[in-house]
């Protein structure tokens, strides 16, 4: 666990806490001093050196290495893209849907996952959604849906809607037994605990920097298992997908033999400068300790919400980072929280409170106090 002193030191790096109680890392991570410094370093390099592309492409390759190490992959298995959607689209463009045409996904996926694969129906894909039961999508529901016609199974590690955590490893095992691939979307968890794509045995892994990785929008990473890369040739492409982007030969299409083939155009250099120091910061604190801290806060929030009789959309054994409470009037409860300078968010009827290494028990208690004063805005157990 983090000591109080360590926690205070971490928190001091995030100036938003001087103004607000920040419980919205599921939307956007808070701004760290090292991230501000990263932005400044980019601006300084641009101002003072004009067009230091050698230096910028060096940073770009350094970021690939750094992220690969963060998830237990090799740098050549990582593509740097500008959004998770861009990464999924690059993979989708490389697939054919004969004889395997089915894309099987749970209804807790982030909408972009549905949209992209539904768009592939014109190319022969067929999307099959698995409905939730009692707020969960059990592994046996995947077992029933995945068959010998299934091409791919996208799985969100933690759902943006309700904080439900999927058993990715079990789903991957099942999918592989039936010859399907697994695409893990870790946007709602990456940065909160150690991650090892090899141990999970996923085929594709995606995340972006703006949430628990504490970076800006406009930067995401796609991991593709090395063995799959040679057989997948994206038709969404560009010069930064080539073996040598600086060959400048318009007549020659020579895709990189590595995951770089899933990239497209000029990399988002400013975003790399901003994001990578945050990755260092998280690694320095220690991902195991971050996970333990988030779990402790999540327990406190769940226990307090239950004591008030508030209905949770997140399972009560959750380790976080996203705890979602059912509300009768989301706009009103968000406004009451905002009056106390508490930043949270909501989706449908769920009030989303998300916890990260910089949050304290006082943050949790401040939010719970507002809930207690506004119980009429929350759904309570036994309400129906």
Ligand X SMILES: Cc1ncc(COP(=O)(O)O)c(C=O)c1O
The residues of the shown chain that bind ligand X, judged by CB under 6 A, are 83-85, 110, 112, 156, 160, 185, 187-188, 208, 220
Which parts of 154-231 fold into alpha helices (H)? 168-177, 197-200
As measured in angstroms, the least distance from the Cβ of 196 to ligand X is 19
Residues making up the chain, counted from first to last? 384
- Are the CB atoms for 163 and 320 separated by under 8 Å? yes
CB of 10 or CB of 155, closer to ligand X: 155
Residue among 133, 191, 146 nearest 320 (CA): 191
CB of 187 or CB of 240, closer to ligand X: 187
As measured in angstroms, the least distance from the Cβ of 194 to ligand X is 19
Tokens of 92: 């989708």
To which H or E segment does residue 80 belong? strand 78-81
As measured in angstroms, the least distance from the Cβ of 225 to ligand X is 20
As measured in angstroms, the least distance from the Cβ of 85 to ligand X is 3
Instruction: Name the one residue in this structure whose structure tokens are 């009692």.
Output: 134
Residue among 46, 79, 73, 77 nearest 60 (CA): 79
Q: Count the neighbouring beta carbons within 10 Å of the beta carbon of residue 342.
A: 20
Report the DSSP pairing between strands 21-22 and 204-208: unpaired
As measured in angstroms, the least distance from the Cβ of 361 to ligand X is 26
Q: Count the neighbouring beta carbons within 10 Å of the beta carbon of residue 12.
A: 12
Using CA atoms, how far residue 2 sits from 11, 229, 291, in Å, is 12, 40, 11
As measured in angstroms, the least distance from the Cβ of 217 to ligand X is 7
Tell me the β-bridge partners of 133: 136
Cis peptide before 366 (omega within 30 of 0): no
As measured in angstroms, the least distance from the Cβ of 281 to ligand X is 21
- What are the phi and psi torsion angles at 347 (to 5°)? -140, 130
Is residue 332 classed as helix, strand or coil in its secondary structure? Answer: helix
As measured in angstroms, the least distance from the Cβ of 157 to ligand X is 8
CB of 11 or CB of 352, closer to ligand X: 352
CB of 38 or CB of 216, closer to ligand X: 216
As measured in angstroms, the least distance from the Cβ of 79 to ligand X is 13
CB of 322 or CB of 367, closer to ligand X: 322
CB of 38 or CB of 106, closer to ligand X: 106
CB of 188 or CB of 271, closer to ligand X: 188
To which H or E segment does residue 154 belong? strand 150-156
- Are the CB atoms for 322 and 260 separated by under 8 Å? no
What value, to the nearest 5°, has the Cα angle with vertex 136 and ends 310 and 72? 110
CB of 186 or CB of 363, closer to ligand X: 186
CB of 25 or CB of 242, closer to ligand X: 25
């Amino acid at each position: 666990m983090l000591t109080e002193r360590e926690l205070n030191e971490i928190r001091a790096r995030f100036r938003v806490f001087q103004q607000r109680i920040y419980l919205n890392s599921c939307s956007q991570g808070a701004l760290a001093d090292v991230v501000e410094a990263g932005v400044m370093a980019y601006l300084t390099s641009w101002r003072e050196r004009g067009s230091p592309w050698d230096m910028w492409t060096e940073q770009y390759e350094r970021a690939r290495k750094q992220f690969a190490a963060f998830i237990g992959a090799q740098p050549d298995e990582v593509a740097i893209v500008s959004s998770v959607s861009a990464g999924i689209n690059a993979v989708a463009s490389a697939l054919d849907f004969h004889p395997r045409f089915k894309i099987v996904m749970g209804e807790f996926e982030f909408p972009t996952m549905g949209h992209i694969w539904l768009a592939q129906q014109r190319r022969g894909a067929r999307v099959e959604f698995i409905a939730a039961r009692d707020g969960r999508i059990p592994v046996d529901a995947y077992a029933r849906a995945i068959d010998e016609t299934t091409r791919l199974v996208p799985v969100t590690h933690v759902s943006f809607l309700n904080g439900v955590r999927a058993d990715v490893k079990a789903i991957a095992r099942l999918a592989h037994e039936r010859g399907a691939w697994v695409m893990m979307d870790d946007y709602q968890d990456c940065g909160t605990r150690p991650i090892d794509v090899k141990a999970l045995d996923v085929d594709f892994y995606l995340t972006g920097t703006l949430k628990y990785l504490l970076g800006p929008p406009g930067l995401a990473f796609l991991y593709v298992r090395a063995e799959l890369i040679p057989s997948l040739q994206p038709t969404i492409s560009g010069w930064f997908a080539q073996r040598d982007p600086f060959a400048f030969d318009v007549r020659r299409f020579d895709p990189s033999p590595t995951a770089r083939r899933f990239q497209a155009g000029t990399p988002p250099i400013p975003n790399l400068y901003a994001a990578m120091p945050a990755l260092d910061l998280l690694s320095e604190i220690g991902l195991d300790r971050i996970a333990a801290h988030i779990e402790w806060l999540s327990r406190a929030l769940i226990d307090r919400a239950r004591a008030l009789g508030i209905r949770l959309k997140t399972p009560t054994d959750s380790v976080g980072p996203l705890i979602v409470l059912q509300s009768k009037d989301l706009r009103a409860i968000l406004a009451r929280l905002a009056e106390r300078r508490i930043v949270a968010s909501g989706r449908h009827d769920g009030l989303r409170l998300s916890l990260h290494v910089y949050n304290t028990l006082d943050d949790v208690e401040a939010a719970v106090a507002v809930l207690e004063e506004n119980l009429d805005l929350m759904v309570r157990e036994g309400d129906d």
